Amino acid sequence: MKIAYLVNQYPKVSHSFIRREILAVEATGIEVQRFSVRSLESQLVDEADKQEFTKTRFILKVGAIGLFLSVLWGIVTRPFRFFSALRLAFQVGQKSERGILYHLIYLAEACVMLRWVLESQVEHIHVHFGTNSTTVAMFCHALGGPTYSFTVHGPEEFDQPQAINLTEKINRASFVVAISSFGKSQLYRWCDYKQWSKIQVVRCGVDNLFLEQPHVPIPDEPRLVCIGRLSEQKGHLVLLEAVSQLAAQGIQFKLVFVGDGPFRQRMETLIAQLNLKDYIEITGWATNTQVREQILAAQALVLPSFAEGLPVVLMEALALGRPALTTYIAGIPELVEPNKSGWLVPSGSTEALTAGLKTVLQTPREQLEEMGQSGAEQVANQHNITTEANKLAELFRQVCQK
């Protein structure tokens, strides 16, 4: 059995969870072909991602001429299906925020994808994220290509479901994966009741790099870590304001941001304005090993997000025995239990986040250890990538058997 994975950007620094899933699906005996719309080779820092890069084919690397020739091939070899897919591109493009032109480009990309999956004898395409890459898979199917499914993470898909034609994508898919019960409920909102049986919960998971890590005691040093892309949805500016308030109270600690992104310069400016250089460090992107080391060097993870799906970094921190301070949003409360494996505060509240940080820093180390152990047990039970990949592999087998 052979399937294809299609992602808009793969491999990518922040998409290690997709890499883990692909490898775990392959471990079930299913052959996986990797496809990506575009390449991010220059940004890769992890050796495992660099290895995945060598296994991945990139649609846009064919260039404008390659796209044009693939469209001609589609018109000549399957004219009826091509013009049916063209009608679909106009139909969804008119409703989309990006418009018809972009969807004509997606159709050209689908022609490239179709040639490749037919050459490789791929039986099914699975996509991560319900945005443009799923549009390509949907067009590829309309052209006569394999069936497709997709995993919805959020929050992007839930912010503008009509603009990305989420309902149409669900209707045409073989099945749709949500990564949490919250995500499943949001998908229910955007499809007919008759489609609900398609929607399955398969959680993101962590591998033995985190699950089988020997226990490392929580350090005495008051050190916290925040991991993720430096962007508006992560709530980093609110976190800096909270750190400033604690600093004004004379509380000594260190907060390390692991990641990079469009908000980095704005954050560095605010750090300078608030005189927090002795409290804050920004490392930039890190490898999986470096992320693990940063988590183990901290007493707790802090993630003050405004919008999420269900962050994999929470699973990684809990798996390593570190409790988490995060927000009451999306699927997070399904993982972090207040006062058991971490703390939850209202999103966007500087006052609540400040109080939460103070609580974390004043919690005895023995209690932090207990909370970390509780979180590790929960992750092992609910977010083992081997278990979750087996669920996904069974869905692939059911589709291909039909």
Kindly report the backbone phi and psi dihedral angles of residue 256, in degrees, each rounded to the nearest multiple of 5, phi listed first.
-110, 120
Region of 311 on the Ramachandran plot (φ > 0 left; ψ -120 to 50 alpha; else beta): beta
Q: What is the pLDDT of residue 328?
A: 95
In a 13 Å sphere around the CA of 66, the CA atoms on its Cβ side amount to: 12
Q: Across the strands, what pairs with 148?
A: 125
177/279 same-domain check: no
Whole-prediction pTM value? Answer: 0.94
The pair of three-digit structure tokens given for residue 126, joined into one six-digit string: 């699975």
Sheet holding 2-9, edge to edge: 56-58, 31-38, 2-9, 124-128, 147-152, 175-178, 199-201
Report the domain count for the chain: 2
89/166 same-domain check: yes
Other CB atoms within a 10 A radius of the CB of residue 217 amount to: 11
165/238 same-domain check: no
Q: Residue 363 belongs to a domain with what CATH number?
A: 3.40.50.2000
CB within 8 A of 69, min separation 6: which ones? Answer: none
9/142 same-domain check: yes
- Dist. CA 359–CA 4, nearest whole Å: 46
168/233 same-domain check: no
258/377 same-domain check: yes
The pair of three-digit structure tokens given for residue 291, joined into one six-digit string: 């992320």
Q: Is omega for the bond preceding 155 within 30 degrees of 0, making it cis? A: yes
156/93 same-domain check: yes
Displacement of CA 62 from its chain's centroid (Å)? 27
304/337 same-domain check: yes
The single residue listed with the structure tokens 């925040």 is 226
- The dihedral over CA atoms of 114, 119, 124, 127, expressed in degrees to the nearest 10, equals -50
231/164 same-domain check: no
- Digits of tens for pLDDT over the chain (402 positions)? 999 999 999 999 889 999 999 999 999 999 999 999 999 998 888 899 999 999 999 999 999 999 999 999 999 999 999 999 999 999 999 988 889 999 999 999 999 999 999 999 999 999 999 999 999 999 999 999 999 999 999 999 999 999 999 999 999 999 999 999 999 999 999 999 999 999 999 999 999 889 988 999 999 999 999 999 999 899 999 999 999 999 999 999 999 999 999 999 999 999 999 999 999 999 998 888 899 999 999 999 999 999 999 999 999 999 999 999 999 999 999 999 999 999 999 999 999 999 999 999 999 999 999 999 999 999 999 999 999 999 999 999 999 998
187/274 same-domain check: no
Between strands 2-9 and 280-282, the pairing is unpaired
191/279 same-domain check: no
Among 204, 199, 174, 179, which residue's Cα sits nearest to residue 189?
199
Among 84, 178, 183, 80, which residue's Cα sits nearest to residue 139?
84
- Dist. CA 330–CA 107, nearest whole Å: 33
The pair of three-digit structure tokens given for residue 58, joined into one six-digit string: 């990139």
Domain that holds residue 288: 208-382
DSSP states of 291-327 as a string?
Answer: HHHHHHTSSEEEE--SS-S--HHHHHHHHTT--EEEE
- Dist. CA 304–CA 234, nearest whole Å: 6
Among 317, 300, 303, which residue's Cα sits nearest to residue 347?
303
272/195 same-domain check: no
